[in-house]
Structure 1
């Protein structure tokens, strides 16, 4: 797998966060490779018909983010992060921690495999606060 440069890694780190907070679907999708894979339990809430939590290909990932940006309040997370990230040129990882200066938020860890400055595999790991919000969302979706 082709490694990414430091500037490409920093670009993904900064732009992914910015485009999600700004609800910029086109900017977000520009960060993903055509054959990218996304894994997150939020898929089960956002696109229940795709219930396995994994999406392959940019069109499916676009559908997920478009639905999420329409359905989910931006207040789901405070989108606070510490500014610390880790990368080895192929993988980029950072945390949205539970504790923030303004109180608790949905806690997530973003893990992205990168190639040539694009996300090729994105996994989102949910912490306890995030898990409780997913369970609540599933309960509301079942009604």
Structure 2
């Protein structure tokens, strides 16, 4: 009983240390930026959640600890403090890092394959299934020799019964 209580205390202590370390690391990853206008601060948080880190695997610049993400957060902050609009910040980031930096890239002819490709593959698959199913439904006609051989097999089968 005594060792179970001791093990439980050690587990609780370890978990509390891990949780406090995680929260400190999470809080340290996002610097604090001073805003004089709450609308600018709200726009800043909206933008850093909407912009993707070009270096990281599917993380926003708010979530990423990469130095590049910090630079993008700093640049977003400076642009907003200088009066840039949301679209101006997005346009700057897209011009510099490409459409990948924005979680909602625009539809373009060059990216249409991403939108229509899966639909095309599904339609081709359905067409193949339809053609193969139709070919199985249509009975093949037997030649005269095949009909004679079938008749012999049926007679042989009846004689064995």
Q: TM-score, normalised by structure 2?
A: 0.23
Higher relative contact order (CA 8 A, sep 6+): 1
**Structure number with larger C-alpha Rg:** 2
Q: TM-score, normalised by structure 1?
A: 0.25
Which structure: greater strand fraction? Answer: 1
